[in-house]
A = this chain, B = another copy of it.
Amino acid sequence: MDNLYAQRIESLREMMRSRDWDAVVITGSDPHASEYPAERWKQVRWLTGFTGEAGDVVVTLDHAGLWTDTRYFIQATRQLEGTGVELHKTRIPEQVLIPEWLQSRFGSDDIIAVDGLCQSASDASGLAARFNVVSIPDLLGSLWTDRPAVPQTPVFTVDPGESRFSKIDWIRGFLADKGCDGILLSALDEIAWMLNVRASDIEYNPLVISYLLITRDQVKWFVLKQEVEDPDTEDTFAQLRDEGVELLPYEDVAMELSGYEGRLYIDPASLNWHLYSQLGGDVLEGGSPVGLRKAVKNPVELDGFREVHVQDGVAMEKFLYWLEKSLAADKRITEWDAAVKLGQYRSEIPGYHGDSFETISAWGAGAALPHYITPMEGAPVLEPRGLYLCDSGGQYDHGTTDITRTVPLGECSELEKEDYTLVLKAHIALETAVFPAGTPGCRVDAVCRMPLWKTGRNFGHGTGHGVGYFLGVHEGPQDMRQNLNAQPLLPGMLITDEPGIYREGLHGVRHENILLCTEAPETGFGRWLRFESLTLCHFDTSALVPDLLDDEEKAWLNSYHRRVFDTLSPLLPPDVAAWLEEKTREI
């Protein structure tokens, strides 16, 4: 057995045999139900070699399976080769999810071992109702000898227009309403928002791995890992202590919870099962109130977002100018080179902390994979024809960006132009939508997709997601997807507008702006909401089929382009500004 991953799975099976376990479930998440876990919790990758961003594993004595969704079928098939791990497909009609699959094999007496730290209480309780589930924190710890530690990056303070005092006051009001004495937060973006702190414990996510307990008279932050010795962190910690926040070791949260006697509010969708099972006192379960309040940006946050979008737009225009001119000069540029160049332009912006996710820089057929990863070594060279797609964003002191532009690098096929234009039509349909207050995103989604649907085209990913304020680039509770999410869009919320078309082996198109939900004038028929585009960067008009756009759509594009030029050109070098004037010429 040469395969490294097959060997690791066999070691796990030895442990299973010695402990009489019938199955082991390993999730791709961390103790905080994070979408993107730190290296320490990439247990699925360590065990199977699969590097996709979503995947859970079940190992039994005679089977090892990886459950992942449509986005990763091709990648998983390739990466699992030789490991003995079988791919179980999810988000397809005939899917058999892990609980059902286990049920077809095991009964209530069989022992299923899970890493209780990396399973949410709500998921684990579903398993516990059917099987004899044992919770083993850090289940793979004894096998994974060089496992990374819990990350510990410098912690610093941000000023997003509302003090910790005010936020803690607000949540104490919530606790009083619910008749609770305390609330435990374990979602990392909720903790960062609540305490106005940031760090870089997770790549692309400016978060601090920690837990936060707020009671009627105490605030306990379980954040201390080993020794922290950097001035930023010390300043921030000192300031927090001055403000009455007690700082405690990260590991002590379990003990604290087991001894806590008040009535505790917890969200079983984000609290892990290990901690959940430690809870000693009375508990009220419900959705976290922090997510919704965090999603509605305050005026300071909105000013910050507007400002970073001007700066981010400047970087994007410099990048697109460089790209066009370099190719015209026959320079050899790979997808990777382009991504690096864009990162350089962003890094010149004051307050830049890094990218908000890994840049997707993809030419031709690569762009047909919505979650393409640009390879550092041997990346495809950009050729002066067809479409190039770039999906990227930055983390800044005053906001987070997420933008996709698709640009023609030369001659395009009729199909490329048609797809390019129809996706822009879909994008504009959402930009110009107006809807009654109280409408959830899922009810508006079809307005964006209809221009594609009418031509028999569609895309398999969501149309939009919320965006954090110098926090995760994906943020709830609002979204705009095919699933029915009843959360209304509220004034002050952000949502991306990112329709696409992907043709395997040919090309991909996506046009993405971040939209701010705002009030429209009230009428006799009620209160109305609409969108304002925060993202500022032109759409290349040379690949358009103008006949596919109606007058209203052309008017929107011309007006948006006027705004892009007027706002960005004073901040651009003269040659780039002159080029942008051409690029934003009326159609």
Q: Which residue of B lies closest to A445 (CB)?
A: B443
A434 touches B446 (CB 8 A): no
A453 touches B436 (CB 8 A): yes
A444 partner residues in chain B, CB cutoff 8 A:
446
A443 partner residues in chain B, CB cutoff 8 A:
442-443, 445-446, 482, 484
Stretch at the interface among A168-176, A379-387, A392-400, A521-529: A521-529
Q: How far is the CA of A342 from the CA of B484 in the complex (A)?
A: 42
In the complex, whether A533 has a CB less than 8 A from a CB of chain B is no
A456 partner residues in chain B, CB cutoff 8 A:
434, 520-521, 523, 525, 528
Distance (whole angstroms) from the CB of A570 to the closest CB of chain B: 33
Q: How far is the CA of A527 from the CA of B446 in the complex (A)?
A: 16
A435 partner residues in chain B, CB cutoff 8 A:
446, 450, 453
Q: How far is the CA of A526 from the CA of B484 in the complex (A)?
A: 21
In the complex, whether A433 has a CB less than 8 A from a CB of chain B is yes
B447 touches A432 (CB 8 A): no
Candidates B434, B440, B445, B450; contact of A433 at CB < 8 Å:
B450
In the complex, whether A19 has a CB less than 8 A from a CB of chain B is no
In the complex, whether A486 has a CB less than 8 A from a CB of chain B is yes
Distance (whole angstroms) from the CB of A39 to the closest CB of chain B: 37
A433 partner residues in chain B, CB cutoff 8 A:
450, 453-454
Distance (whole angstroms) from the CB of A524 to the closest CB of chain B: 8
A458 partner residues in chain B, CB cutoff 8 A:
436, 525-526
In the complex, whether A550 has a CB less than 8 A from a CB of chain B is yes
Please report which residues of chain A, range 425-452, place their CB below 8 angstroms from some CB of chain B when the two chains form the complex: 432-436, 439-440, 442-447, 450
User: Can you offer 24 A-B residue contacts whose CB atoms are under 8 A?
Assistant: A432-B454, A433-B450, A433-B454, A434-B456, A435-B446, A435-B453, A436-B453, A440-B484, A442-B484, A443-B445, A443-B446, A443-B482, A443-B484, A446-B446, A446-B447, A447-B447, A447-B450, A456-B521, A456-B523, A456-B525, A458-B526, A484-B484, A503-B524, A550-B550
Ordered nearest first, which 7 A-B pairs have the shortest CB separation? A456-B523, A484-B484, A458-B525, A434-B453, A434-B454, A443-B446, A446-B447
